[in-house]
Copies of this chain bind each other. A is one copy, B any other.
């Protein structure tokens, strides 16, 4: 089914169809209606890249990320783009934001562009309500969908994840081994990755025989100074902690600032662990100990898998990469 079939059946030139598709005013309403009706009858989906020319590949990969200004995601986009380029593919970047409706819209858009595949970067692409992920599985029926830090069990969806659960579980055990007893976990958004970290945190506490109440886990505001103030007000209310683990480095930065303001000695009185091993780690004093989720490896692994998929190879649906505990100044 292509533009030539539409042209033949509607009895108009390809140039006319092109004008209709582009919203050009120089087409009569009658002709426009005829073309649209034929397109519907034939089930023809206009494809602005390969429109009707039978091109099977544009060597273009869609990259979706919720926010390219996020340090982790910006790094992932950078490494993905480099790796794709090396393999002769272009990257088509969409910053979708966090709203489900926009994610759906952008994925449809990429489908209509007939990209060779889509890479969804970040665990924000996995909704907690199961049916909210249907749009991803529908897309996977048409092209390979690669997910970084998201996992859906469905044909043609390939996932590369870092083991957030295990990393957090191990970090809790490590700090409990230092005699830490009053743990706090800070996170910022309800993504799949942050849910896994939270589970790892709670299970780690259970494993070491420590309690995990609702108060041990805190959803934080967006900016560093507000998080510092939240911690200060908790501290003034009598909540004292000797170990703060976080879902991202910026929250650990806030914890370091809180400790400074409260006069707590880090890491002696309070151990703090970041997450991502980002540039922020070396900005604080002391520098952040952190869990490195290997964004470069995640990105390169994803592109390597995609290249094999596009060559028709059999590739496992899930690849998990383990994190590393990086010791700097805020935790032993």
Nearest CB on B from A250, distance (A) = 7
Interface residues on chain A, size class? 35 or more
User: Contacting chain B: which of A132-140, A184-192, A233-241, A279-287?
Assistant: A279-287
Residues of B contacting A223 in the complex (Cβ-Cβ under 8 angstroms): 282
Q: Which of A68, A95, A223, A253 has the largest count of B CB atoms less than 10 A from its CB?
A: A68
Nearest CB on B from A303, distance (A) = 14
Nearest CB on B from A1, distance (A) = 14
Residues of B contacting A113 in the complex (Cβ-Cβ under 8 angstroms): 90
A278 to B133, CA, bound (A): 34
| Complex contact B280–A280 (CB within 8 A) | yes
Nearest CB on B from A109, distance (A) = 8
Smallest Cβ-Cβ distance to A109: which chain B residue: B90
Q: Which of A203-225 contact B (CB under 8 A)?
A: 223-225
A283 to B48, CA, bound (A): 45
Residues of B contacting A74 in the complex (Cβ-Cβ under 8 angstroms): 68-69, 71, 74
| Complex contact B282–A285 (CB within 8 A) | no
Given contacts A285-B284, A285-B285, contact A78 B57 (CB under 8 A): no
Residues of B contacting A15 in the complex (Cβ-Cβ under 8 angstroms): 53-54
Residues of B contacting A51 in the complex (Cβ-Cβ under 8 angstroms): 53, 55
| Complex contact B82–A78 (CB within 8 A) | no
Q: Which of A137-183 contact B (CB under 8 A)?
A: none
Nearest CB on B from A217, distance (A) = 24
Q: Which of A87-120 contact B (CB under 8 A)?
A: 90-95, 109, 113
| Complex contact B68–A71 (CB within 8 A) | no
Interface residue from B3, B22, B55, B250 paired with A57 (Cβ < 8 Å): B22
| Complex contact B280–A55 (CB within 8 A) | no
A198 CB within 8 Å of chain B:
no
A77 CB within 8 Å of chain B:
yes
14 of the cross-chain contacts (CB-CB < 8 Å) are: A3-B53, A15-B54, A18-B54, A18-B55, A52-B53, A68-B68, A68-B78, A71-B71, A71-B279, A82-B95, A92-B93, A253-B283, A280-B283, A283-B283
The 10 closest A-B pairs by CB, nearest first: A283-B283, A74-B74, A69-B78, A93-B93, A68-B78, A69-B75, A81-B95, A18-B53, A224-B282, A253-B283
